[in-house]
Amino acid sequence: MPQLDPHSFISQIFWLIVTFGALYWVLAKAALPRIAQVLEDRRRAIEQDLEKAEKFKTAATATLAGYTDALAGARRKAQDGLRATAEKASARAAEAQAKLAAKLADEVRAAETRIAAAHKRAEGELDGIAAELAASVTERLTGARADQARLARAVKEAAGER
């Protein structure tokens, strides 16, 4: 193998240094700056993404706080509306109950008035019925017709004793 020939080591070392130097120069001037630029661009992009993520996180936190506040406000408003509606319904029910109670009281008074009038009529008619009944009983028992005026006075006297 000619590479292992000790007489050619110096030329091999020379060409190794020339080749390594050329490769180093090409890498240092062309490839490594591009790689460094790509790495720097990636680092900046990552930093920008992290900054954006932090901004989005802050915005999301603020939005969540706003949503929570709005939800709490809506709940309070709904509870206030329900309370107001319940109070209105309670007031309406109390008003309707009062009207119904007044109407029923009026109807009871009217019924009591009708009952009292019927009672007076019945009492007034009771004397006449009692006199007729007494006349009928007297006629059946005695066979003679009784004096209506006298029977009416006797019924009135008996009614006055009650």
Q: So what's the pLDDT on residue 75?
A: 96
Whether residue 1 is contained in a domain is answered as no
How does pLDDT run across 16-50, given as a tens digit for each residue? Answer: 999 999 999 999 998 899 999 999 999 999 999 99
Contact criterion met (CB below 8 Å) for 151 and 134: yes
For residue 73, what are the domain limits? 12-161
In the structure encoding, which two tokens stand for residue 72, read together?
Answer: 């709490």
Whether residue 120 is contained in a domain is answered as yes
Whether residue 6 is contained in a domain is answered as no
Considering only CA atoms, which of 122, 121, 123, 149 is closest in space to residue 135? 149
Whether residue 3 is contained in a domain is answered as no
Please tell me the total count of domains within the chain.
Answer: 1
In the structure encoding, which two tokens stand for residue 100, read together?
Answer: 């119904």
**Cut 0.85: pTM above it:** no
Whether residue 35 is contained in a domain is answered as yes
